[in-house]
């Protein structure tokens, strides 16, 4: 018998319930035990908007990756992991290739991902498969402002289409970038995600000063205690510092001890945030990559 028939090979396939113990076990050894996968695993497994794939080697789950259909024409890659005992053997390459090919066959519009500025392997893989590094992001934080505020009114469900139009046309995009950050996923403002945000008890979609601006917030519970995270602040460019200052006032009104934003790292955005009293939380930064579907552009 040819011995190569019995040698184990890496197989990429949809994740099965039986993979869970091995995955949760190897995630304990990723990022010094700080990996978030164990906290989101049950939610991810049950989420119909996403698909998880496993790299299986010799009958054992040794890697995972996930793709999420965040909105029409928008896709997101996340949860890319290889068991530390098997890293450096091109299993990550095979998972990434599989995922990109899956999206090319089934997806459309744009696929995006974030990866830490230090993760050279992921950057290499993205660049190899035609992704463009569109921007870099970092966390900023500010203390709430204990000052009176009457600037915000909730966006009503039937106003979502006009809120999306407003966000997509706002000149502040030239400073803050095209994408917003909802629960660590980058999306171009769209009806699906704004409706979702509106439906969450802790989500906020707010007009600012009549309809001069739009502020979207989600509650980031990675902070202890949890705090509001700015998903989107859209308005005339010159008004952006004032809108951000009012976001700090709203954080005070809602009883939080800080407000954060995962912001585009550019001198202009930094100057805007600094003028509104925000400061970089640390030196960490993430690269945002995106690829446009070659056949099926945005609907």
Ligand X SMILES: CC(C)(COP(=O)(O)OP(=O)(O)OC[C@H]1O[C@@H](n2cnc3c(N)ncnc32)[C@H](O)[C@@H]1OP(=O)(O)O)[C@@H](O)C(=O)NCCC(=O)NCCS
Q: Which residues are near ligand X by CB under 6 A?
A: 30, 80-82, 87-93, 115, 119-122, 124-125, 128
- Of 133 and 168, nearer to ligand X (C-beta) is 133
Q: CA end-to-end span of the chain, whole Å?
A: 53
- Of 55 and 194, nearer to ligand X (C-beta) is 55
**What does the alpha-carbon distance between residue 136 and residue 140 come to, in Å, rounded to a whole number?**
13
CB-CB contact of 243 with 259 (8 Å): no
- Least distance (Å) from ligand X to the CB of residue 103? 16
- Of 119 and 211, nearer to ligand X (C-beta) is 119
Paired with 10 in beta bridges are: 57
**What does the alpha-carbon distance between residue 125 and residue 137 come to, in Å, rounded to a whole number?**
19
- Least distance (Å) from ligand X to the CB of residue 235? 32
- Of 122 and 139, nearer to ligand X (C-beta) is 122
Q: Residue with the closest Cβ to ligand X?
A: 92
- Of 10 and 215, nearer to ligand X (C-beta) is 10
- Least distance (Å) from ligand X to the CB of residue 98? 12
Per DSSP, 18 falls in state G
**What does the alpha-carbon distance between residue 18 and residue 68 come to, in Å, rounded to a whole number?**
22
- Least distance (Å) from ligand X to the CB of residue 173? 25
- Of 89 and 275, nearer to ligand X (C-beta) is 89
Specify the length of the chain in residues: 299
* CA–CA distances in Å: residue 150 to residues 163, 207, 249, 279: 19, 11, 10, 25
- Least distance (Å) from ligand X to the CB of residue 280? 21
Secondary structure element (H or E) that encloses residue 41, with its range: helix 37-46
**What does the alpha-carbon distance between residue 230 and residue 42 come to, in Å, rounded to a whole number?**
26
**CA angle 109–296–106, rounded 5-degree value:** 80
- Least distance (Å) from ligand X to the CB of residue 134? 15
């Amino acid at each position: 018998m040819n011995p190569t028939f019995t040698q184990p090979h890496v197989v990429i396939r949809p994740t099965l319930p039986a993979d869970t113990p091995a995955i949760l076990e190897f995630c304990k050894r990723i990022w010094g035990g700080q990996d978030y996968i164990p906290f989101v695993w049950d939610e991810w497994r049950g989420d119909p908007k996403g698909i998880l794939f496993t790299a299986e080697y010799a009958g054992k789950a040794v890697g995972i990756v996930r793709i999420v259909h965040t909105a029409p024409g928008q896709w997101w890659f996340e949860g890319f992991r290889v068991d530390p005992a098997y890293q450096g053997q091109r299993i990550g390459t095979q998972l990434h290739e599989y995922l990109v090919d899956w999206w090319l066959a089934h997806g459309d519009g744009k696929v995006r991902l974030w990866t830490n500025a230090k993760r050279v392997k992921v950057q290499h893989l993205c660049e190899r498969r035609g992704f463009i590094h569109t921007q870099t992001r970092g966390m900023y934080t500010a203390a709430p402002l204990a000052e009176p505020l009457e600037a915000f009114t909730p966006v009503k469900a039937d106003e979502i289409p006009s809120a999306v139009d407003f966000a997509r046309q706002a000149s502040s995009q030239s400073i803050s970038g095209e994408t917003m950050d909802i629960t660590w996923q980058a999306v171009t403002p769209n009806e699906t995600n704004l409706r979702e945000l509106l439906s969450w008890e802790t989500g906020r979609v707010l007009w600012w000063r009549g309809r001069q601006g739009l502020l979207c917030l989600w509650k980031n519970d990675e902070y202890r205690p949890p705090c509001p995270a700015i998903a989107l602040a859209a308005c005339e460019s010159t008004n952006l510092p004032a809108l951000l200052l009012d976001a700090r006032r709203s954080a005070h009104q809602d009883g939080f001890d800080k407000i954060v934003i995962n912001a585009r790292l550019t001198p202009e955005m930094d100057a805007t945030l600094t003028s509104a009293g925000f400061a970089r939380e640390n030196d960490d930064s993430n690269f945002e990559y995106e690829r446009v579907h070659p056949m099926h552009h945005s609907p």
